[in-house]
């Protein structure tokens, strides 16, 4: 959410940012919120003046009574009553106007970083760099669920009976590999100085609206019926929510946290054939990284976060590339975002396995996460990035380490987490 003062003073900048995100339908909102802001400030000024006048006149009542000027005192009381009624109406109007302004400001997108490429959708994202040599073996690689089934590692049919489409049972060596990757990722991030956390897996609505846009909320979140609770779509939600309505002493920054959680997502809409199996599902587990820092440090942390994911995948001998998200592919709260994509030897192309985002002060402004520096206070910057989400990591892992006989090699870094096994199958 933008600062209303910034929007008031820079309306054309805000409008140009909306155009860069190809959301022209939101352009009228800028003028609308400016008009509401003018009306609200007039209402506040009138209320303040009336409040001061009422207080001044109220003090006269006692003096008039002491002088025996009862009639004049009663007239003054009546005037105070009238002013109080008008003041109550102004205060109610102020609350109404502020709510309208807030609701509009919540859907006006954040100002994107000048380095973000301009494009309408993810088809115009820009490749930045490749890490590792993408190889294609001289034998055919089956679809990932076929690899898992041959290893007795997945049961989709039973999952459909129990929970419907978008769920799975992992068993045997694939279930073990899934857990090993998460354990390895946790240790990997702790070794890089991040504090490990296990957060709540449900959050209240005020946290939901603080960490994401309304569009994201509708497409992702599962609501608990009869409760003010939502299942998290990623641990970033509850991890950033941990700081809601807090004032952080500047010397405590940065907070560098890595969190484990299950994730629950609606995943609305039709998906292509390559998104069957465990690629796009309603429930999965993930290791995340979150940073809360000073504004001037957020670009540096942004680069560190995506590099952590690249380094983890390379340590498991999986080729990856980074992809800069264009303006039209950025969620409204994001300032800048880079996707990490892993190489798929079967498809002979890369696919997304993680996303690193700098949200500037958007989440902090919504959740009132402030930093104190002496007498000064300012909003923190928040960032998040996927360390690893095993469903997609499993796809990349199995395809890149599959042997022609159907067995799967275990890279040296993961062997200690796989009970010493160097191969499964």
Query: How far is 194 from 366, CA to CA, in rounded Å?
Result: 25
Judge contact between 352 and 329, C-beta under 8 A.
no
Cβ pair 383, 298 in contact under 8 A: yes
Residues 345, 399 contacting (CB under 8 angstroms)? yes
CATH of domain 122-424: 3.30.930.10
In degrees rounded to 5, what are phi and psi of residue 88?
Answer: -60, -40
Q: Which residues of 298-331 are buried (b: 16+ CB within 10 A; e: fewer)?
A: bbebbebbbbbbbebbeebebbbbbbbbbbbbbb
Give the CATH architecture of domain 4-105.
Orthogonal Bundle (1.10)
Q: 3-class secondary structure for the chain?
A: CCCHHHHHHCHHHHHHHHHHCCCHHHHHHHHHHHHHHHHHHHHHHHHHHHHHHHHHHHHHHHHHHHCCCHHHHHHHHHHHHHHHHHHHHHHHHHHHHHHHHHHHHCCCCCCCCCCCCCCCCHHHCEEEEEECCCCCCCCCCCCHHHHHHHCCCEEHHHHHHHHCCCCCEECHHHHHHHHHHHHHHHHHHHHCCCEEECCCCEECHHHHHHHCCHHHHHHHCEECCCCCCEECCCHHHHHHHCCCCEEEEHHHCCEEEEEEEEEECCCCCCCCHHHCCCCCCCEEEEEEEEEEECHHHHHHHHHHHHHHHHHHHHHCCCCEEEEECCHHHCCCCCCEEEEEEEEECCCCEEEEEEEEEECCCHHHHHHCEEEEECCEEEECEEEEEEEECHHHHHHHHHHHHECCCCCEECCHHHHHHHCCCCEEC
Which are the catalytic amino acids? 265, 280, 352, 355, 392
Residue 214's pLDDT is 75
129-147 confidence digits (pLDDT tens)? 999 999 999 999 999 999 9
Find residue 203's DSSP bridge partners.
230
Which residues in the chain land under pLDDT 70?
Answer: 62-66, 268-276
Q: What is the pLDDT of residue 270?
A: 47
Quote the pLDDT of residue 81: 81
**Domain definitions of the chain by residue range:** 4-105, 122-424
CA distance 376 to 234: 33
Q: What is the 3-state secondary structure (H, E, C) of 88-141?
A: HHHHHHHHHHHHHHHHHHCCCCCCCCCCCCCCCCHHHCEEEEEECCCCCCCCCC
Q: Which of 171, 30, 10 is nearest to 109 (CA)?
A: 30
How far is Cα 363 from Cα 268, in angstroms, rounded to an integer? 24
* 4-105 and 122-424, same CATH topology: no
- What are the C-alpha distances in Å from 219 to residues 17, 215, 216? 24, 6, 5
- Distances, alpha carbon 171 to alpha carbons 147, 174, 181, in Å: 13, 6, 15
Rounded to the nearest 5 degrees, what angle is found at the Cα of 90, between the Cα atoms of 85 and 94? 150
Give the pLDDT of residue 60.
74
Q: How is residue 4 written in tokens?
A: 């209303």
Q: Which of 409, 392, 343, 347 is nearest to 173 (CA)?
A: 409
Q: What is the dihedral angle through the alpha carbons of 290, 294, 296, 301, rounded to the nearest 10 degrees?
A: -20
């Amino acid at each position: 959410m933008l600062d209303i003062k910034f929007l008031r003073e820079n309306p054309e900048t805000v409008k140009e940012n909306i155009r860069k995100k190809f959301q022209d339908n939101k352009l009228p909102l800028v003028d609308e919120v400016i008009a509401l802001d003018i009306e609200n400030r007039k209402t506040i000024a009138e209320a303040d003046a009336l409040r001061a006048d009422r207080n001044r006149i109220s003090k006269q009542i006692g003096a008039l009574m002491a002088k025996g000027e009862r009639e004049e005192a009663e007239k003054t009381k009546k005037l105070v009553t009238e002013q109080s009624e008008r003041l109550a109406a102004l205060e109610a109007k102020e609350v109404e106007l502020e709510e309208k302004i807030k609701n509009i400001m919540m859907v006006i997108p954040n100002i994107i970083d000048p380095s973000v490429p301009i494009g309408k959708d993810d088809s115009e994202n820009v490749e930045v760099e490749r890490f590792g040599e993408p190889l294609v073996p001289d034998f055919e690689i089956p679809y990932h669920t076929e690899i898992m089934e041959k290893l007795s590692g997945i049961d989709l049919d039973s999952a459909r009976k129990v929970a419907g489409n978008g769920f799975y049972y992992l068993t045997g060596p694939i279930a073990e590999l899934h857990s090993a990757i998460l354990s390895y990722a946790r240790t990997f991030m702790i070794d890089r100085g991040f504090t490990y956390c296990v957060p709540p897996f449900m959050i209240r609505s005020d946290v939901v609206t603080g960490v994401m846009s309304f569009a994201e909320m509708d497409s992702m979140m599962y609501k608990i019926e009869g409760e003010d609770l939502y299942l998290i779509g990623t641990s970033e939600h509850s991890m950033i929510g941990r700081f809601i309505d807090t004032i952080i002493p500047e010397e405590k920054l940065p907070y560098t946290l890595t969190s484990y959680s299950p994730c629950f997502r609606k995943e609305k809409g039709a998906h292509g054939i390559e998104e069957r199996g465990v690629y796009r599902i309603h429930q999965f587990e993930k290791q995340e990284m979150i940073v809360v820092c000073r504004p001037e440090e957020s670009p540096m942390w942004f680069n560190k976060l995506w590099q952590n994911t690249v380094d983890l995948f390379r340590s498991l001998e999986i080729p990856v590339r980074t992809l800069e998200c264009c303006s039209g592919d950025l969620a409204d709260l994001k300032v800048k975002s880079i996707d990490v994509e892993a190489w798929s030897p079967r498809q002979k192309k890369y696919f997304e396995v993680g996303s690193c985002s700098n949200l500037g002060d958007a989440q902090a402004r919504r959740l009132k996460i402030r930093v104190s520096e002496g007498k000064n206070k300012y909003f923190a910057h928040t960032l998040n990035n996927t360390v690893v989400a095993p469903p997609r990591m499993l796809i990349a892992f199995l395809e890149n380490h599959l042997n022609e006989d159907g067995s799967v090699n275990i890279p040296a870094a993961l062997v200690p987490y796989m009970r010493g096994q160097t191969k499964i199958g």
